[in-house]
Structures are given as C-alpha cells and as structure tokens.
Amino acid sequence: MKYIVGMYVVMSLMVCVNLINGYLLNGEYWAITGWILIALFFFGTLFFINARSIFSKKKIER
C-alpha cells in the first residue's frame, strides 16, 4: 500500500511543479521544471514497478 501512496505523492508533486512554473514563475524556468518532471516521472515508474511486483506476488500466494 505504501507504494500506491508514493505514486500518488509523486503525481501530486508533478502537478504542483507545473502549477508553480505556470503561475508563480510565469514559465521562466521551463527547462528546470522539465527536468524535475522527468525525474518525478521516473520515481513514479519505480513506485509502479514495486507495487505491481508486490501485488502479483500476493496473487500467486493465494
């Protein structure tokens, strides 16, 4: 369950970074925010892979 919560947190951070760049920074730092979003996407992918492996192991045990 902690991996699903981690995926939700990463997804929320991605939205927050986009909103901060768009409204507070007026799109001035789009390259930096792009790199941050790519890093967050990779972290979210890792959470997804971990959650998928754990849920598939639980299904096999039943």
The answer to whether residue 62 scores a pLDDT higher than 70 is: no
- Decide if 15 contacts 52 (C-beta within 8 A): no
Number of helices (H), then strands (E), belonging to the chain: the values are 2, 0
Mean confidence (pLDDT) of the chain? 88
Q: What is the pTM of this model?
A: 0.79
The answer to whether residue 51 scores a pLDDT higher than 90 is: no
Span 25-52, average pLDDT: 92
